[in-house]
Amino acid sequence: MRTPVKLSVFAAVLAAVFGAAALAGGAVGRVHDPAAPAGDEDMTMAGDPTRGLAVSENGLTLDLARRAARPGEPFPLAFRILAADGRPVRDFDVKHTKRMHLIVVRRDLTGFQHLHPTLRADGTWTKPLTLPRAGTYRVFADFSVDDRPATLADDLQIDGDVRSRELPPPATSAAADGFRVRLVDGAVRAGRESRLAFDVTRGGRPVSLQDYLGAKGHLVALREGDLAFLHVHPDESSLRFEATFPNPGSYRLFLQFRVAGRVHTVAFTLEVSR
């Protein structure tokens, strides 16, 4: 009789151990960024500087009306943000002067577009879009509801022969539209809040920048590989930004600024060390 008792006790212990492991695995599964520490269900919304790794998170879901198009042909990009009950969200906070920031970029980090769609009465956001090259594009919806920021993302396939491009090497200077942009402060280390500062010149002379989205510029940072979206805080009076890069590796920075009523975009590759 002793052996069955011992086996029963042993089986109970194993059940408890595996049950605890299953619960722990479930908790980890709710955190979509593999680089983020486990144990906080709201990590991707609050403490984790990366977002945009999931189509659904914290009771909100990005619902694209279509996931395929043809290269070079204009089409209406339409989507909804669905609440946990499946109903479309209609009330969004104003952040950086807009209720919705739509970022579209190919998975090789080319073809970047920053758009501001229009909200219909039924909760559908719409924006005309043209993507000239075939490939898989990541669509980011960056917004806030009830003072809770969120960035949800899904893929959009542009049919055709795909020729991916290598990520350009790290640089501290880039040119676009006749402007020269320099990264004058960009010594960053993974896991620490860092400051990024830029200056803009044309013909060797400083340029007067107009406000764009409530500041002197807008910066989007995307991690190579999974295209994690980093939340970047701007300084309203200059081209200075604060960001936390969670892991070492390569990141693509897309800086936007306005001069004489026109928005210009310059891209940098930044290598983040430990």
Asked if 50-158 and 173-272 have one fold, the answer is: yes
Domain map (residue ranges) of the chain: 50-158, 173-272
pLDDT-derived band of residue 274, with 50, 70 and 90 as boundaries? Answer: confident
pLDDT digit string, tens, across residues 20-34: 333 333 333 233 333
What gap in Å lies between CA 18 and CA 270, rounded to an integer?
A: 43
User: What residues are paired with 154 via a beta bridge?
Assistant: 139
Please give the CATH architecture assigned to the domain spanning 50-158: Sandwich (2.60)
pLDDT digit string, tens, across residues 149-163: 999 999 999 999 999
pLDDT digit string, tens, across residues 165-203: 999 999 999 999 999 999 999 889 999 999 999 999 999
Q: To the nearest whole percent, how much of the chain has pLDDT over 90?
A: 76
Residue 187: per-residue pLDDT: 80
Predicted TM-score (pTM) of the model is 0.82
Please give the CATH architecture assigned to the domain spanning 173-272: Sandwich (2.60)
Residue 131: per-residue pLDDT: 97
pLDDT digit string, tens, across residues 3-15: 443 333 333 433 3
Amino acid at 264: H
What separation, in Å, do the N-terminal and C-terminal C-alpha atoms of the chain show?
59
pLDDT digit string, tens, across residues 38-79: 333 332 333 456 899 999 999 999 999 999 999 999 999 999
Residue 48: per-residue pLDDT: 56
What gap in Å lies between CA 229 and CA 189, rounded to an integer?
A: 17
CA count, 13 A, side-chain hemisphere, 232 = 28
pLDDT at 237 over 50: yes
Q: How far is CA 272 from each of CA 46, 182, 183, 244, rounded to the nearest angstrom?
A: 22, 17, 14, 10
Q: Are 88 and 79 in contact (CB under 8 A)?
A: no
pLDDT-derived band of residue 231, with 50, 70 and 90 as boundaries? Answer: confident
Residue 233: per-residue pLDDT: 86
Residue 152: per-residue pLDDT: 98
pLDDT digit string, tens, across residues 75-87: 999 999 999 999 9
Q: To the nearest whole percent, how much of the chain has pLDDT over 70?
A: 82
Q: Who's near 242: CB < 8 A, 6+ residues apart?
A: 193, 194, 195, 196, 232, 233, 235
